């Protein structure tokens, strides 16, 4: 099949999707502009023209990761139990990281030496954070949690990232039951500790 030559939006979208798939299949070490171009049936110069350089391609993969995560969050149903809804969001985050470990590494770590997230990249996750903040706000309004919604959201995301990293490395347990139990233990400990009754006792 002849390689696509036109630098069209359609080609850009295809290259980006192939880049995400290549990252998942071949990992950080196997991720090169040349390999992505081959997989997308285009040329390396076309990839560079579309994305500037390898760092530009990684940057777009970074953004795409947050778009994919937000789409998953948007599918989460809202119930009449704000705490259960918040736990459900954390579980969706866990599933995303488990299913996309290398993409999550690009999103939450800095595995590429030639890609250093700047201000624009650091705000890429704002839609994700705002979604979690809104869920935390519901729990606060319902009297289930007490504190600043942004602080709590950051703490929960950091907790989920740490647990996901431990799970991916095999340090959280040797069976699904033990891993699930430790996730629940950590999440419940944080949410229980932020309950108004708990925070009131802590101030005495």
> Which pLDDT value is given to residue 6?
58
> Which pLDDT value is given to residue 109?
80
CA angle 169-173-174, nearest 5°? 95
Q: Does domain 64-203 have CATH number 3.30.1330.90?
A: no
CA 79 to chain centre: 23
Question: What is the four-CA torsion angle of 111, 164, 125, 76, rounded to 10 degrees?
Answer: 150
pTM value > 0.75: yes
Which tokens belong to 26? 């071949």
**Residue for token pair 């040329």:** 43
> Which pLDDT value is given to residue 202?
58
| Alpha carbon distance 1, 150 (integer Å) | 51
> Which pLDDT value is given to residue 80?
96
Which tokens belong to 69? 């995560």
Q: Does domain 1-52 have CATH number 3.30.450.30?
A: no
| Alpha carbon distance 29, 149 (integer Å) | 38
CA angle 90-163-193, nearest 5°? 65
> Which pLDDT value is given to residue 129?
84
Q: Where are the domains of the chain?
A: 1-52, 64-203
| Alpha carbon distance 120, 145 (integer Å) | 31
> Which pLDDT value is given to residue 4?
46
Burial of residue 152, with CB atoms counted within 10 A of its CB: 0-12 exposed, 13-18 middle, 19 or more buried? buried
Are the C-beta atoms of 157 and 98 separated by less than 8 Å?
no
Which residues of the chain have a pLDDT value below 50? Answer: 4
Burial of residue 9, with CB atoms counted within 10 A of its CB: 0-12 exposed, 13-18 middle, 19 or more buried? exposed
> Which pLDDT value is given to residue 127?
79
| Alpha carbon distance 2, 163 (integer Å) | 45
| Alpha carbon distance 190, 193 (integer Å) | 5
Are the C-beta atoms of 146 and 196 separated by less than 8 Å?
yes
**Residue for token pair 């990281």:** 97
**Residue for token pair 């950051």:** 154
């Amino acid at each position: 099949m002849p390689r696509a030559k036109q630098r069209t939006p359609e080609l850009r979208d295809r290259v980006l999707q192939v880049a995400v798939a290549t990252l998942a299949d071949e990992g950080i070490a196997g991720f090169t502009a040349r390999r992505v171009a081959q997989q997308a049936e285009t040329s390396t110069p076309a990839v560079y023209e579309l994305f500037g350089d390898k760092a530009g391609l990684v940057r777009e993969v970074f953004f795409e990761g947050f778009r994919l995560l937000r789409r998953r969050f948007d599918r989460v149903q809202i119930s009449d139990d704000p705490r259960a809804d918040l736990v459900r969001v954390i579980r969706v985050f866990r599933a995303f990281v488990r299913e996309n470990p290398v993409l999550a590494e690009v999103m939450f770590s800095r595995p590429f030496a030639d890609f250093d997230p700047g201000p624009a990249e650091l705000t890429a996750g704002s839609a994700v954070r705002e979604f979690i903040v809104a869920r935390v706000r519901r729990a606060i309004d319902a009297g289930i949690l007490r504190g600043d919604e942004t602080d709590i959201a950051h703490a929960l995301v950091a907790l989920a990232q740490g647990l996901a990293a431990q799970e991916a490395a095999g340090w959280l347990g040797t069976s699904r039951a033990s891993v699930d139990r430790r996730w629940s233990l950590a999440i419940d400990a944080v949410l229980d500790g932020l309950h108004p009754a708990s925070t009131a006792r802590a101030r005495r």
